[in-house]
Amino acid sequence: MLRRVGMLIVQKYGGTSVGSIERMKAVAQRCLATQRQGHDVAVVVSAMSGETNRLLALAAQLHDDTSDREVDVIVATGEQVSVGLVALAIRAAGGKARSFLGDQVKIVTDSAHSRARIVSIDAAPLRAAFAAGEIAVIAGFQGVDDKGNITTLGRGGSDTTGVAIAAALDADVCEIYTDVDGVYTTDPNMVPTARKIDKISYEEMLELASLGAKVLQIRSVEFGMKYGVKIHVRSSFSDAPGTWVVPEEQSMEAVVVSGVTVAKDEAKIVVDDLPDTPGVAWRVFAPLADANIVVDMIVQNQAWDGTTDLTFTVPAIDKKRTLDTLRQAIPDIVGANGERMTADDEICKVSVVGVGMRSHAGVAKRMFQLLAEDNINIQLIATSEIKISVVVAKKYAELAVRVLHEGFGLSKPPGERAGLI
Amino acid sequence: MLRRVGMLIVQKYGGTSVGSIERMKAVAQRCLATQRQGHDVAVVVSAMSGETNRLLALAAQLHDDTSDREVDVIVATGEQVSVGLVALAIRAAGGKARSFLGDQVKIVTDSAHSRARIVSIDAAPLRAAFAAGEIAVIAGFQGVDDKGNITTLGRGGSDTTGVAIAAALDADVCEIYTDVDGVYTTDPNMVPTARKIDKISYEEMLELASLGAKVLQIRSVEFGMKYGVKIHVRSSFSDAPGTWVVPEEQSMEAVVVSGVTVAKDEAKIVVDDLPDTPGVAWRVFAPLADANIVVDMIVQNQAWDGTTDLTFTVPAIDKKRTLDTLRQAIPDIVGANGERMTADDEICKVSVVGVGMRSHAGVAKRMFQLLAEDNINIQLIATSEIKISVVVAKKYAELAVRVLHEGFGLSKPPGERAGLI
């Protein structure tokens, strides 16, 4: 994907990339190099690394609710300092630049402090800056509600700012600069043969959340999908291309499996001997929802002898709270002492993801075969259109990932994976 | 000056007063105590002590012009953090509070970054906060120009914000909280018998700049004088009354001398043998103005034998630059090698200030007598309506101040100073 002359490029730099004056000078050089190629450049920057935590710690000495109007006023200063400094760095390097805060680009959000959602953006001030030959340096993470209160978008919100600015400007690409060089087929620390993914669909990226969350806020991907913004995740330490997150293309289906993920922070809850009557599932999950416990996988087996059983997973830290909640809410179902429930947090969830699954019938079969060959017992199975997840004992986590990564040929370039399924 | 119930009080707290979370809690308690007396309270706060310097140092690594749009964006965050934290501190203490930034109260200024002047303030958002029972916590030092750019008011600008907010609200008083307990008759470190001044006029306060500048930005006094805002300078460490800066009252004239100041950072320049012709003074001072050298006292003696001489003072750090500038600009007057100029920075300027001078003829005579009794030679004299300044050798600085402070009875309460002149 070579750049045409005269494109409009949004570049987003994270906290590490602007973590020092020296790093900011490097950012300035990259922005100017892009502008010199004939492009208009908007830069979205995060707070210097560590700054948001420092500000939150100050506020925490006075207040323990971080979703507060005043906490947003305080933490928003992190990005404000960054935009001023990056604008100065660009000017120090001979360029023209102007900083923009959330209320100066009119990044209007709802009023949900600390987790606000973007409603609209006024691109006019940015276009005026481009017309004046300036690089627009925009504060990430922050917005302003319709009453003029400062809001913030939540952790990693600068990614969403970047993609939203790109959408508002109808930019050719939103480049997300980070300290890794892209999204990998699996965690490279676990599987040394993991490969950088060159191109991936929004849907796959969302399913690969546990891989991608480290480099890209998931909400920014949803935003990109909604507005068709091409996202390029790449390293601020090199010029090498990273991973493009783009609308699904015909050719992507040839790549049956794009990545393998593992989540080790879930617990499995089994409820046995449930009456096989309408409304039972509702009676189980309603109290959990009321207690704000997020349920992930849910599997109910075929009824047998008038009873059935129900298995689901919750965050491991909520295991005890889940058992307590159900024992108090539905003792008639789980037993007065919860004796019809069992819980296990020595599990992990391993998933394979790929848009090609839609047209390839054999992925599940191949996955189960690969695991069986290494005697890894499957405790639970759940599928979506482009993902298959299995729960296995936690001790098999790394083995299962490696076996699937090799078995689906992810160590090889996409073109050389044919015939594996 | 007891408070009526239902007053509107502006309280301004400096960097030391909000220098830590603990200090902010003390500020919150004072605000709430004031509100509980039945008053509406607006609080103006500075950046936490050291913060503005930290931010300027960051910017200085990229840029050496502090009067820059982006530097204002950066340093304005100091007050933004303070208002959020103080609002949280008030809420943590059980009160209601809301923070306001420069653009949220619409503190509109001109566009002179780093030294902007306030043009207008929209008091409506503050009145809405009062109506809701909230304490309004306002960021000092910052404003916004008519295009929405962040501006700052210069060092000590939070004092000006406080007085301007008080003017906009027609407040009953603007309390300036600081780490000293008021304005003194002279520097208490130099003269242990110096007394706190209970009440002083704006005009005297302006003339006492070198005393007052430590506790009160001079521009805030000009602002107070223009809009008739009563200013109460007091300590944030005690409940004792401080110094009231108010419109001149009849009774003030009874206090002939209010204070004694000394400035040790000036240099005296003498130009001898000038032709006594029109335009000579202009030819001397025009090049100095062009070089941005601030001239303080100017004295020209009676011509004699067709020539005269001119003496003036400049900041001591500008001594060499003054001599160089004049030698290059007007060699015909000062000599090709500047041989008709002499410069001396072993001097100091001692002044006595008081509105009572207008109606008391003997102040100058008494001042010169007091200095003569201690053999202090006067090199230069300049007077304004309410001030007499003399230049003496720097070695006499402390002695001159003590002699004048005692001689004009400033160690005694105002009512006991009669008969001294």
* Tens digit of each residue's pLDDT (9 = 90 or more) over B125-142: 999 999 999 999 999 999
The pTM assigned to this predicted structure is 0.83
Rounded Cα distance between B185 and B15, Å, is 24
Taking the Cβ of residue B303 and every Cβ of chain A, the question of whether any pair is shorter than 8 Å is answered with no
Q: How far apart are the first and last CA of chain A?
A: 30
Q: Measured between beta carbons, which residues in chain B are less than 8 angstroms from residue A55?
A: 81
* Tens digit of each residue's pLDDT (9 = 90 or more) over B307-323: 888 899 999 999 999 99
Q: For residue B28, what are the contacts with CB-CB under 8 A and spacing of at least 6?
A: B86, B89, B90, B92, B93, B95
| Shortest CA gap A307–chain B (Å) | 53
| Shortest CA gap A142–chain B (Å) | 14
Amino acid at B157: G
With a pLDDT cut of 70, the percent of chain B lying above it is 97
Write down the pLDDT at residue A382.
85
* Tens digit of each residue's pLDDT (9 = 90 or more) over B237-246: 889 999 999 9
Taking the Cβ of residue A32 and every Cβ of chain B, the question of whether any pair is shorter than 8 Å is answered with no
Write down the pLDDT at residue B29.
97
Write down the pLDDT at residue A255.
77
CB contact under 8 A, B55 and A81: yes
ipTM surpasses 0.90: no
* Torsion angle defined by CA atoms of residues A183, A184, A188 and A190, in that order, rounded to the nearest 10 degrees: 110
* Tens digit of each residue's pLDDT (9 = 90 or more) over A5-15: 689 999 999 99
CB contact under 8 A, A61 and B21: yes
Do residues B370 and B321 make contact, with C-beta atoms less than 8 angstroms apart?
Answer: no
Write down the pLDDT at residue A419.
59
3-class DSSP assignment, residue A210: helix
Taking the Cβ of residue B84 and every Cβ of chain A, the question of whether any pair is shorter than 8 Å is answered with yes
Nearest Cα neighbor of A61 from B339, B89, B149, B329 is B89
Would you give the distance in Å from CA B200 to the centre of its chain? 14
CB contact under 8 A, B62 and A98: no
Q: For residue B277, what are the contacts with CB-CB under 8 A and spacing of at least 6?
A: none
| Shortest CA gap A48–chain B (Å) | 12
Write down the pLDDT at residue B301.
76
Which of B66, B79, B81, B138 is the best mutation test for A, with the most CBs of A within 10 A? B81
Select from A63, A98, A150 the Cβ nearest to the Cβ of B88.
A63
Write down the pLDDT at residue A297.
87
Write down the pLDDT at residue B167.
95
Q: Measured between beta carbons, which residues in chain A are less than 8 angstroms from residue B73?
A: 80, 83-84, 87, 99, 101
Q: Mean pLDDT over residues B110-114, rounded?
A: 94
Taking the Cβ of residue A87 and every Cβ of chain B, the question of whether any pair is shorter than 8 Å is answered with yes
CB contact under 8 A, A21 and B91: no
Rounded Cα distance between A335 and B327, Å, is 102
Write down the pLDDT at residue A1.
46
Structure tokens at B24: 């902010």
Q: Measured between beta carbons, which residues in chain A are less than 8 angstroms from residue B21?
A: 58, 61-62
Structure tokens at B61: 């690594």
Which of A52, A56, A62, A113 is the best mutation test for B, with the most CBs of B within 10 A? A62
Question: Where does A190-340 have alpha helices with state H?
Answer: 202-207, 209-212, 218-227, 280-290, 319-329, 331-334
Q: What angle do CA A102, A104, A105 make, to 5 degrees?
A: 70
Taking the Cβ of residue B399 and every Cβ of chain A, the question of whether any pair is shorter than 8 Å is answered with no
Q: Place B419 in a pLDDT band, splitting at 50, 70 and 90.
A: low
Q: Measured between beta carbons, which residues in chain B are less than 8 angstroms from residue A70?
A: 83-85, 87-88, 91, 97, 99
Q: Mean pLDDT over residues B101-127, rounded?
A: 95
Would strands B40-45 and B135-139 be described as parallel, antiparallel, or unpaired? Answer: parallel
Select from A59, A62, A84 the Cβ nearest to the Cβ of B71.
A84
Structure tokens at B108: 């509109």
Taking the Cβ of residue B352 and every Cβ of chain A, the question of whether any pair is shorter than 8 Å is answered with no
Do residues B356 and B273 make contact, with C-beta atoms less than 8 angstroms apart?
Answer: no
Q: Measured between beta carbons, which residues in chain A are less than 8 angstroms from residue B59?
A: 84-85, 88
Q: Measured between beta carbons, which residues in chain A are less than 8 angstroms from residue B99?
A: 69-70, 73
- Residue of chain A with shortest Cα separation from B88: A62
C-alpha neighbours within 13 Å on the C-beta side of residue A13 = 30
How many CB contacts within 8 angstroms connect chain A with chain B?
Answer: 100
Q: Measured between beta carbons, which residues in chain B are less than 8 angstroms from residue A85?
A: 58-59, 62, 70, 74
CB contact under 8 A, A63 and B91: yes
Write down the pLDDT at residue A300.
81
Mean of the per-residue pLDDT values for chain B? 91
Q: Measured between beta carbons, which residues in chain B are less than 8 angstroms from residue A77?
A: 77, 80-81
- Residue identified by tokens 């890209």 is A216
Rounded Cα distance between A158 and A47, Å, is 9
Q: Place B213 in a pLDDT band, splitting at 50, 70 and 90.
A: low
CB contact under 8 A, B98 and A55: no
Taking the Cβ of residue A303 and every Cβ of chain B, the question of whether any pair is shorter than 8 Å is answered with no
Q: Place B1 in a pLDDT band, splitting at 50, 70 and 90.
A: very low
Write down the pLDDT at residue B91.
96
**421 residues of chain A, pLDDT tens digit each:** 444 568 999 999 999 999 999 999 999 999 999 999 999 999 999 999 999 999 999 999 998 887 899 999 999 999 999 999 999 999 999 999 999 999 999 999 999 999 999 999 999 999 999 999 999 999 999 999 999 999 999 888 999 999 999 999 999 999 999 888 899 999 998 999 999 999 999 999 998 876 666 778 888 999 999 999 999 999 988 899 999 999 988 777 777 899 999 999 999 999 998 888 888 888 999 999 898 888 888 888 777 777 888 899 999 999 999 999 999 999 999 999 999 999 999 999 999 999 888 877 788 888 999 999 999 999 988 888 889 999 999 999 999 999 999 999 999 888 787 655 5
Taking the Cβ of residue A29 and every Cβ of chain B, the question of whether any pair is shorter than 8 Å is answered with no
pLDDT beyond 60 at B3: no
Domains (range + CATH), chain A: 8-248 (3.40.1160.10), 250-421 (3.30.2130.10)
